[in-house]
């Protein structure tokens, strides 16, 4: 399988976010939900945004690709050397289609119920890569193998006939068909059981090793963050409280909130044992 080329900016950064603020309108007023968040993710690295529900994680993920709906956004996002908020519509769509892939929480809901997996894979692959159907079939089969799915088991099936873990693997094929620069995974394993979660996470890390994409991984679960992330950004009520390498965060958390998160995870681990 082909590996992506190495073009990214001079500092090796695939995505650079500077002072990102997001406002939504409620009761005729703009309400600030994300406040001057900045970070950088390099090729092959994973930054995890860790925070409780409602803290603004998904808004950040969407705003990076200029997909936050009915929002006012300020700050700067550079992806693959392009300033996302300065792009005209066609260039923006091209950037999303060719370089950014999302993986969401509920894999079954992301697939169309009335089309077979094979049909949907081909639709997405041909649209995103420009392959004709013959090349698309070859690419799909190759990628299905990479994510550990037997083509004959899934190709003619409908989404409801597959498990949540299998659906998530199908979505991984759709996400990876373009060899993305950036994968944005928003709580990708929150709706699957613990065994499936660990298999999907280790698959994701293997695939990152191979494809060398930068990953923004979103979770509320510190143990998941510890497994996947090179660096962790702790988000609370729209602010990035701290951003450190995973190891540093565990060894020397800088905020009380991070200390509480670590201590709660340790207490849970002890209780469960």
Closer to Mg ion at the Cβ: 23 or 104?
104
- Considering only residues 58 to 97 of the shown chain, the ones binding ligand ADP according to CB under 6 A are 58-59, 69-70
Closer to ligand ADP at the Cβ: 54 or 148?
54
Angle at 16 between CA 13 and CA 18, to 5 degrees: 150
For the chain, how long is the longest CA-to-CA vector?
Answer: 56
Query: Do 144 and 154 meet the contact criterion of CB atoms below 8 Å apart?
Result: yes
- Considering only residues 28 to 47 of the shown chain, the ones binding ligand ADP according to CB under 6 A are 33
**100 vs 92: CA distance, rounded Å:** 11
**266 vs 245: CA distance, rounded Å:** 19
- Is residue 233 involved in binding ligand ADP (CB under 6 A)? no
Closest to 24 (Cα-Cα) out of 76, 78, 62, 77: 62
Closer to Mg ion at the Cβ: 120 or 168?
168
Site size toward ligand ADP (CB under 6 A) is 12
Among 46, 58, 189, 208, binds Mg ion (CB under 5 A): 58
- Is residue 53 involved in binding ligand ADP (CB under 6 A)? yes
Q: Closest separation between CB of residue 140 and ligand ADP, Å? A: 31
Q: Could you tell me which residues come within 8 angstroms of residue 202 by beta carbon, excluding any fewer than 6 positions away?
A: none
- Is residue 257 involved in binding ligand ADP (CB under 6 A)? no
Find which of Mg ion, ligand ADP, none residue 29 binds, CB within 5 to 8 Å per kind. Answer: none
Binding part of the chain for ligand ADP, among 39-47, 53-61, 172-180, 205-213 by CB under 6 A, reads: 53-61
Beta bridge partners of 184: 102, 216
**How many Cα atoms are found within 13 Å in the side-chain-facing hemisphere of 12?**
6
Find which of ligand ADP, Mg ion, none residue 158 binds, CB within 5 to 8 Å per kind. Answer: none
**42 vs 97: CA distance, rounded Å:** 20
Q: Closest separation between CB of residue 57 and ligand ADP, Å? A: 4
- Is residue 55 involved in binding ligand ADP (CB under 6 A)? yes
Q: Closest separation between CB of residue 206 and Mg ion, Å? A: 25
Q: Is the dihedral of CA 174, 95, 4, 233 positive or negative?
A: negative
- Is residue 188 involved in binding ligand ADP (CB under 6 A)? no
- Rg value, the chain, Cα: 19
Closer to ligand ADP at the Cβ: 59 or 258?
59
Find which of ligand ADP, Mg ion, none residue 54 binds, CB within 5 to 8 Å per kind. Answer: ligand ADP
Q: Closest separation between CB of residue 93 and Mg ion, Å? A: 24
Phi, psi (deg, nearest 5) at residue 72: -105, 130
* Helix %, strand %, coil % of the chain (to 5): 45, 25, 30
Binding site for ligand ADP (CB under 6 A): 24, 33, 51, 53-59, 69-70
């Amino acid at each position: 399988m082909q590996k992506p080329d190495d073009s990214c900016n001079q500092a090796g950064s695939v995505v650079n976010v500077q002072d990102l603020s997001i406002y939504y309108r409620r009761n005729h007023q703009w309400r600030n939900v994300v406040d001057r968040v900045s970070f950088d993710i390099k090729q092959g690295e994973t930054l995890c945004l860790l925070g409780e529900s409602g803290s603004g994680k998904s808004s950040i993920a969407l705003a990076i690709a200029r997909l936050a709906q009915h929002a006012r956004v300020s700050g700067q996002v550079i992806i693959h050397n392009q300033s996302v908020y300065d792009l005209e519509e066609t260039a923006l769509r091209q950037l999303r289609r060719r370089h950014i892939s999302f993986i969401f929480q509920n894999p079954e809901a992301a697939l169309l119920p009335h089309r077979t997996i094979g049909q949907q894979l081909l639709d997405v692959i041909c649209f995103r890569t420009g392959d004709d159907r013959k090349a698309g079939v070859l690419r799909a089969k190759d990628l299905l193998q990479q994510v550990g799915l037997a083509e004959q088991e899934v190709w003619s099936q409908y989404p409801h006939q597959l498990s949540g873990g299998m659906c998530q693997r199908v979505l991984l094929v759709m996400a990876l068909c373009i060899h993305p620069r950036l994968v944005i995974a928003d709580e990708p394993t929150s709706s699957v059981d613990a065994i499936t979660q660990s298999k999907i996470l280790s698959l994701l890390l293997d695939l990152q090793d191979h494809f060398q994409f930068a990953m923004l991984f979103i979770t509320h679960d510190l143990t998941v963050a510890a497994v996947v992330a090179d660096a962790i950004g702790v988000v609370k009520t729209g602010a990035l409280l701290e951003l450190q390498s995973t190891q540093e965060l565990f060894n020397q958390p800088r905020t009380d909130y991070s200390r509480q998160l670590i201590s709660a995870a340790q207490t849970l681990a002890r209780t469960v044992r």
